[in-house]
Amino acid sequence: MKRYWFIVIIQCSLLALALFNISFKPEILSVQSVGTTNWELTPKYTKTYFDNGLTRSEGRLLDTNKVGWWKTYYKNGIDKSVGEYESNEKTRLWKIFHENGELKSVGNYLGNLKVGKWQTFYGSGEIKAKGRYNSGLKSGEWKEYYENGTLKSETVFENDKKVGYWKHYYPNGIIEKQGAYVNGERNAFWETRYKNGQVELESNWKNGQKHGWFKRYFENGQQKWVGEFENGQKVRLWKYYHENGAQECEGYFSDNKKVGWWRFWEKDGNMTEEGDYALDVKNGFYKTYFSDSTIKTEGYYFENEPIGEWKYYTATGELEKKFTVEDAD
């Protein structure tokens, strides 16, 4: 009998608990309260294909906007890129690949613009360049490398403009050129070298223009020429040299044009000619010489054309003939 009443008590308790749940949690059983999916707000998985049937891209679209992770492929099926979209704009980490599957570049986006640290790679997998972006613009120190891993350049950017001290290297590690940029333009002293380390050019710059003394050298270290620039134009005295060190010519420039008295020499040091220039052409008295520097001819030029009386001499220096060139006008 006790067992019977125990079973009755248990059944009554379960019935009471069921009635309690029905009374105080009607939303669980109410059909009206069951939610339904709004498919207009659910991203749809999408795929595009090449003509050969292989996948070209895949990811999710919300309306027409790319969202979430997306992948693109080369026509051979190799991954081309993988990264995330937010409202149709690239965001967070992205990876781009070469057609052989090797990583080409990696870095982050924000609002479709590159940000933070980025790296690029050769198809062999060796690093090509590394640096930082700020809102899509190169900022701070950047380094480039040759495919063999040696340093190619050390550069500095500020909002994509060249600034600070720059260095470029040959594959053998020798500095190729170095100098400073200000607001994207060369400024102050720059130096360029040959692959053997010998100085090739010493130059001065102002706001991106050649300004000040320039010196160029042959690869053997002999000076090739020396002269001055002003706002990008050759000015004042310039001297040029043969590779053996002998002087080749010298004279003056004004606004990049030869002016005044110019002289010219052979490699053996013998003078070949000398005379007046104006606006880069012979204009005035002029002389030419034999190979032993003995006078050969003398006369006048006007706008690169001989005029007036001209004298011709023999190799021994005696007057051979003279004649007058009629003015064409």
| pLDDT tens profile 52-75 | 999 999 999 998 999 999 999 999
Asked if the model's pLDDT at residue 47 lies above 60, the reply is yes
Pure H helices in the chain: 2-24, 26-29
Determine, yes or no, domain membership for 88: yes
Domains contained in the chain, number: 1
* DSSP secondary structure letters along 220-255: TS-EEEEEEEETTEEEEEEEEE-TTS-EEEEEEEET
Determine, yes or no, domain membership for 109: no
The residues with which 286 forms a beta bridge, in sequence order, are 275, 299
Determine, yes or no, domain membership for 56: yes
If you average pLDDT over every residue of the chain, what do you get? 91
Determine, yes or no, domain membership for 7: no
Determine, yes or no, domain membership for 326: no
Average pLDDT over residues 83-89: 96
- Domain carrying residue 87: 41-101
Q: What is the pLDDT of residue 42?
A: 82
Determine, yes or no, domain membership for 184: no
Least confident window among 31-40, 48-57, 130-139, 216-225? 31-40
Average pLDDT over residues 164-190: 97
Determine, yes or no, domain membership for 86: yes
Spell out a b/e string for 140-167, using b for 16 or more CB atoms within 10 Å of the CB, else e: eebebbbeeeeebbbbbbbeeebbeebe
Q: What is the pLDDT of residues 123-172, one digit of tens each?
A: 999 999 999 999 999 999 999 999 999 999 999 999 999 999 999 999 99
Q: What percent of the chain has pLDDT over 90?
A: 84
Determine, yes or no, domain membership for 87: yes
